[in-house]
Amino acid sequence: MLIDHPLLGLRDSSEFIYMGDAKLLNRPNWKSKNSNTKFIDYGYLRKNPAGEHKELWYHEQGDRSWLVVTRNTVTHEILKVELARYLKRKANAK
Amino acid sequence: MRNSSHPITNKQKLSFTFNGKKYFGYKGDTLASALIANNIKLVGRSFKYHRPRGIFSAGSEEPNALVELGDGPYKEPNTKATNVELFDGLKGSSQNFLGSINFDLMAINDFLKNFIGAGFYYKTFMWPRRFWEKLYEPIIRRAAGLGKLSLKADPSHYDKGYLHCDFLIIGSGISGLMSALLLAETGSEVLIVEEDFILGGRLNSERLVINGKQSSIWIGQAVKKLKSLKNVRILNRTTVFAAFDHGIFAAIEKKTDHKLEKSSKPRQINWKIYTKHCILASGAIERSIAFPQNDRPGIMLAGSVRTYANRFGAHYGQKIAIYTNNDDGWKTADDLKNMGLEIKAIIDTRKEIEAPSSSISSYLGQKITKTYGRKGIKAIKLSSGSKLDVDCLAVSGGWSSNIHLTCHKRGKPVWDNIYKNFLSVDNAQKDDIIPVGAARGIFEIQNIISDTNRVILSLIKKIGLSMPNRITITSSKEQYGCSLDLVSSSNPSNSFIDLQNDVTQKDIELSFREGFKSVEHLKRYSTLGMATDQGKTSNILGLASMAKLKGTNISEVGTTIFRPPYVPVAISAFAGRSRGKDFRPTRLTPSHNVASKRNAVFVETGNWLRAQWFPEKGETFWRQSVDREVLQTRNSVGICDVTTLGKIDIQGKDCSEFLNFVYTNAFAKLPINRVRYGLMLREDGVAYDDGTTARLGKNHFIMTTTTANAALVFRSLEFVRQCLLPNLDVHLISTTDSWAQYSVAGPNSRRLLQKIVDKPKDITNENFPFMACRELTICGGFMARLFRISFSGELAYEIAVPTQYGNALFDALLSAGKEFNAIPYGTEALGVMRIEKGHTAGNEINGQTTAQNLGLSRMISKKADSIGNMLSEREGFNRSDIATLSGFKPVQRNQKLEAGSHLISAGKKPTMENDEGWLSSVAFSPTLGHYIALGFIKRGETRIGEKVCAVNLLQNKTTEVEIVSPHFIDPEGVKQRG
């Protein structure tokens, strides 16, 4: 597999560590209502779709960027690769 | 036999041995062609029934002629004789027989065939169950088998290589070479990979005319042109064995397998190829026909008989018959006749055709119902009843496009009813494999030429490269039509479908009767297509047979798909140079040289080699050294290399907020030049790692992690920094390898360090108390960091210098410490002292324990959010009866303890229900003179003084232990603060 790193271009997947569902970016607020249940959901429930999926990949053998990769789990096509920190900052700004 | 006028006879003569006998062949032969030229028919025994078998094909689809090559540690079993390039001195032998190849004792299985069909093992060896592993399996494994391994390490080198190109062309037949010529003209980087040792593919097997001349002239010109181009690379003896996502392919190149002398150069190279586009010019593979006793030596694929005759001038016997269901069989008849061989008959299963050749006696619409000759075919019987004497039978069941690689990414083939052939599906993905020529289901040369031009030029246009001219070549005209007469009408138990796995038509019928009708079930129940050749010549026969039974057609039945590897690949080729010591890198500590000189015994911890203990003269047993190191450190001073602990440099305006979030306890108020112990949880509330973090400046911290978790903690910190708190100004860098760090422990440690710390720095207790840290200089100006922390419980320091000074500092510390009898100590003494002090390590923070188990629940701040904070509050972690960290000592002080022992209340049975905890770390304490342990036991802190049993059921040992405080020495911390 090749991952089109937004800063470094095409890199072989062997340079990366895979962390699964990118929902891990959405850590619940500990003071919100029912935060206990939300944290259990955050910690233990993962989507495993056949089709488009947002996943976390870490470029450990490279520039150490955490990436959000949108990948089709059926065709293995990679549709989008984004820097997790940009996505998260954008979400925080809202 | 060899055709004495064939050009190969002008080449270098080579001698080789097969089954111990000496033979001759020529340069350019394969082992198979040389065996045929020497008229050797019996080459191997079949997998299950040990039936005599001969060479069947001329390529990597070979099911029968598996041989052992070479000897000693170089021996390679299961090699296809059809792929082996002959060399002077080659040694080959048959495999899978007991006794001799001519009289195989295991051939008894052939007579038991009616009893050991498909599913036989599943049904028969069920009872008694315990007999399977000890009795049945070893016997079956011995009887049903392939070659034997030498059981010696292969001394050859194997390499890995990486190639990048715009176009990968697999195969160098006419469509491969044409594609290369066209694509090379666009200026793109082109890589041609060919399995054979010569280029030209199927053209080498045919007597075709191109541009008015023999096709070999055209091959020569094309190859010469390609070799002259800088943007073209050609790899022969190389097989692409797997296709991966995004244009990545794996190929194995044989570098020295065709040479006798064993060189220091790599034997094979495992290539990883990155390409933008892949052209599959892999041609087609001929299939067989099922008929009774169709597996005798001397029965071969018709196209292969043609290959041996045309390319190598080699053939069996003089009386040849051809059995075909398609037009291609007639080509073999023509070519052999041209060579002056007698064509006894051509039997075509099709009745309604016009015989393409009138000069050969033909039997149309007939089948072969019987064959004769156990170790080599002697005669055949036709459905009309006539019997013909033959010494070779060429069989053609039609051709199948070689689309193996297109299936590796789950491309499902579709049935082409015109040419009776499975084709790969067109798919618009940009990294898809583009078949050309016979691999695309085009079988007549004139059409291959025009179609390859069309396919490649439209690809070039689609990509937008500069358009080359189409290649104009004239050629012979061919005609190919095929029927689906593949199934035997009589004697199914002798009609072989899959020669390598001994699957007969009867096995297919049995699968059908027992309900294994889907192709996936059929494959697994009958083992059809599961051998090293993956059914390249047999799958279609099995599918045709199943279609007939189901009363439907092959497109309805469908097909299983091929999986990597296309050909078997040696494990060594995957390992490459990562073998033995080179399996992974070795990390040496900065004090390694000094430690080696002091005869340290080293231990592997992850990639690190660490000094485990330093034996002194007269010490013969490890405990002597370790006990001495502990006592000497506790009495005076010892030095230990702790560089392997992870060190992470954290800087930025928001780093104290960051630390507050990753540790359970607060760091924001930690004063500059102070150190604090920190505990990390995982998000699920389980303890993750611990260590000390020092504050060197307002915005500068140095975190330490455990050795084992150094990389993982760093990864987690990056996750928090980028994915959870990306608005914070925090920067991280791992400095584990940049700083050498030594623990200097013991009551004389301060006095030792005072000798090397540059004045006027004052490290007295008043000015440099417990948990202080500072950047300073030592030994006359060398930058260093000093931390007053203690893992041993002694007055202790850790001193760090840039790695390049590490070895010198270790020496300097030992020299300066001479007056105190300073000694180096290893990881064992380090472990003993931390257990005596009651400090936790990997045995306690093992991914299954919580802060509550460790007695550290008060470290979880309730004022602020941190990783794991929320889920650490869950009910199960906070029950009153959870196991908590405790100390244990044997009631009988001379008794030994064992880590992993379970703790059971006195008088109770050692069962799961009564299990109350376990011993996690055990050591002999030389300070106390008996064994001690750390462990976890329910409500441990309330049970001090209670006696329980430590049970080791593996050794049937029970030891009475007393629950004590985990701090065996100096529980108030007087020493470390002194």
Task: Please say if the pLDDT value at position B428 is more than 50.
Answer: no
Which of A66, A69, A74 is the mutation pick for testing B, counting most B CBs within 10 A?
A66
Domain that holds residue A49: 2-25+32-93
Q: Rounded mean pLDDT of B930-945?
A: 97
Q: Do A89 and B726 touch (CB under 8 A)?
A: yes
How many other CB atoms are there within 10 angstroms of residue B392's CB atom? Answer: 25
Task: Please say if the pLDDT value at position B143 is more than 60.
Answer: no
Q: Answer whether A58 touches B (CB < 8 Å).
A: yes
Q: From chain B, which residues contact A within 8 Å (Cβ)?
A: 244-248, 274, 409, 429, 683-684, 711, 715, 718-719, 721-724, 726-727, 865, 869-871, 873-874
Peptide bond into B726 cis (omega under 30): no
In whole angstroms, give the CA distance from residue B290 to residue B392: 17
In whole angstroms, give the CA distance from residue B796 to residue B978: 10
State both tokens at B423: 């084709």
Angle at alpha carbon of residue B504, lines to B500 and B506, rounded to 5°: 160
Reduced 3-state DSSP string for B483-538: CCCCCCCCCHHHEEEECCCCEEHHHHHHHHHCCCCCHHHHHHHHCCCCCCCCCCCC
Q: Rounded mean pLDDT of B47-64?
A: 91
In whole angstroms, give the CA distance from residue B963 to residue B905: 11
Q: Which of B478, B400, B399 is nearest to B446 (CA)?
A: B478
Pairing of strands B883-890, B782-787: unpaired
Percent of chain B's residues with pLDDT above 90: 84
Q: Do B727 and A89 touch (CB under 8 A)?
A: yes
Q: What is the dihedral of CA B259, B265, B268, B272, to 10 degrees?
A: -150
In whole angstroms, give the CA distance from residue B59 to residue B122: 34
| Residue with tokens 């190859």, as numbered in its chain | B223
Task: Please say if the pLDDT value at position B558 is more than 80.
Answer: yes
User: Which 3 state secondary structure label does DSSP give B213?
Assistant: strand
- Helix pair B827-837, B622-635: axis angle to 10 deg: 60
Q: Answer whether A42 touches B (CB < 8 Å).
A: yes
Q: In this predicted structure, what is the pLDDT of residue B133?
A: 64
Q: Which residues in A lie closer than 8 A to residue B245 (C-beta atoms)?
A: 1-2, 76
Q: Answer whether A67 touches B (CB < 8 Å).
A: no
Q: Which of B303, B299, B313 is nearest to B8 (CA)?
A: B313
- Structural domains for chain B: 7-120 (3.10.20.440), 158-284+401-463 (3.50.50.60), 289-396 (3.50.50.60), 484-566 (1.10.10.1100), 592-644+738-834 (3.30.1360.120), 646-734 (3.30.70.1400), 879-977 (2.40.30.110)
| Residue with tokens 């987690």, as numbered in its chain | B716
Q: Do A1 and B248 touch (CB under 8 A)?
A: yes
Residue B760 pLDDT grade (very low, low, confident, very high; cuts 50, 70, 90): confident
Q: Are B614 and B596 spatial neighbours (Cβ–Cβ below 8 Å)?
A: no
CA distance B217 to chain A (A): 41
Task: Please say if the pLDDT value at position B134 is more than 90.
Answer: no
Q: Do A30 and B723 touch (CB under 8 A)?
A: no
Task: Give B835-845 pLDDT, tens digit per residue.
Answer: 999 999 999 99
CA atoms within 13 A on the CB side of B779: 17
Counting one residue from chain A and one from chain B, the pairs whose CB atoms sit within 8 A come to 71
State both tokens at B741: 């760090």
Q: Answer whether A49 touches B (CB < 8 Å).
A: no
In whole angstroms, give the CA distance from residue B797 to residue B45: 72
Q: Are B788 and B769 spatial neighbours (Cβ–Cβ below 8 Å)?
A: yes
How many other CB atoms are there within 10 angstroms of residue B105's CB atom? Answer: 11
Q: Answer whether A79 touches B (CB < 8 Å).
A: no
Domains identified in chain A, total number: 1
Provide the CATH number for the domain around residue A13: 3.30.2270.10
How many other CB atoms are there within 10 angstroms of residue B955's CB atom? Answer: 9
Which run of H or of E encompasses B260? none
Q: How far is CA B282 from the centre of its chain?
A: 25
Q: Rounded mean pLDDT of B364-392?
A: 94
Mean pLDDT of chain B: 93
Q: In this predicted structure, what is the pLDDT of residue B98?
A: 66
Which among B721, B722, B871 has CB closest to A39?
B871
Which run of H or of E encompasses B753? helix B749-756
- Write out the DSSP string of B581-592: GGGS--EEPTTH
Q: Are B279 and B179 spatial neighbours (Cβ–Cβ below 8 Å)?
A: yes
The phi, psi pair for B712, rounded to 5°, reads -70, -40
| Residue with tokens 């490269």, as numbered in its chain | B465
Task: Give B774-811 pLDDT, tens digit per residue.
Answer: 999 999 999 999 999 999 999 999 999 999 999 999 99
Q: In this predicted structure, what is the pLDDT of residue B532?
A: 83
In whole angstroms, give the CA distance from residue B279 to residue B434: 5
In whole angstroms, give the CA distance from residue B715 to residue A59: 10
Q: Which residues in A lie closer than 8 A to residue B718 (C-beta atoms)?
A: 58, 64, 66
Q: Answer whether A88 touches B (CB < 8 Å).
A: yes
Task: Please say if the pLDDT value at position B725 is more than 70.
Answer: yes
Q: What ipTM, to 2 d.p.?
A: 0.99
Task: Please say if the pLDDT value at position B653 is more than 80.
Answer: yes
**In a 10 Å sphere around its CB, with 0-12 CB exposed, 13-18 middle and 19+ buried, how is residue B537 labelled?**
buried
Q: In this predicted structure, what is the pLDDT of residue B263?
A: 77
User: Which 3 state secondary structure label does DSSP give B235?
Assistant: strand
Task: Give B217-268 pLDDT, tens digit per residue.
Answer: 999 999 999 999 999 999 999 999 999 999 999 999 999 999 887 778 899 9
Which run of H or of E encompasses B239? strand B238-244
The phi, psi pair for B669, rounded to 5°, reads -95, 5
Q: Do A30 and B683 touch (CB under 8 A)?
A: no
Q: Which residues in A lie closer than 8 A to residue B869 (C-beta atoms)?
A: 30
DSSP B6: S
State both tokens at B373: 């000759």
Q: What share of chain B is helix, strand, coil (3-state, %, to 5)?
A: 25, 30, 45
Q: In B199-271, which ranges are continuous DSSP H helix? A: 215-228
Q: In this predicted structure, what is the pLDDT of residue B144?
A: 52
Q: Rounded mean pLDDT of B851-875?
A: 93
CB proximity list for B685: less than 8 A, separation 6 or greater? B850, B851, B868, B869, B870, B871, B872, B873, B874, B877
Task: Give A20-58 pLDDT, tens digit per residue.
Answer: 999 999 999 999 999 999 999 999 999 899 999 999 999
Q: Which of B891, B884, B886 is nearest to B931 (CA)?
A: B891
In whole angstroms, give the CA distance from residue B118 to residue B928: 69
CA distance B724 to chain A (A): 6
Q: In this predicted structure, what is the pLDDT of residue B196?
A: 97
CB proximity list for B59: less than 8 A, separation 6 or greater? B82, B83, B195, B285, B304
How many other CB atoms are there within 10 angstroms of residue B440's CB atom? Answer: 22
Which among A27, A84, A92 has CB closest to B727?
A92
In whole angstroms, give the CA distance from residue B628 to residue B598: 15
Q: Rounded mean pLDDT of B663-687?
A: 96
Task: Give B296-351 pLDDT, tens digit per residue.
Answer: 999 999 999 999 999 999 999 889 999 999 999 999 999 999 888 889 999 999 99
Percent of chain B's residues with pLDDT above 70: 95
Q: Rounded mean pLDDT of A68-91?
A: 95
CB proximity list for B480: less than 8 A, separation 6 or greater? B326, B327, B328, B399, B419, B443, B444
User: Which 3 state secondary structure label does DSSP give A17?
Assistant: strand
Q: In this predicted structure, what is the pLDDT of residue B245?
A: 92
Angle at alpha carbon of residue B422, lines to B418 and B424, rounded to 5°: 115
How many other CB atoms are there within 10 angstroms of residue B634's CB atom? Answer: 23
Q: Do B246 and A64 touch (CB under 8 A)?
A: no
CB proximity list for B98: less than 8 A, separation 6 or greater? B104, B105, B106
Q: In this predicted structure, what is the pLDDT of residue B359?
A: 83
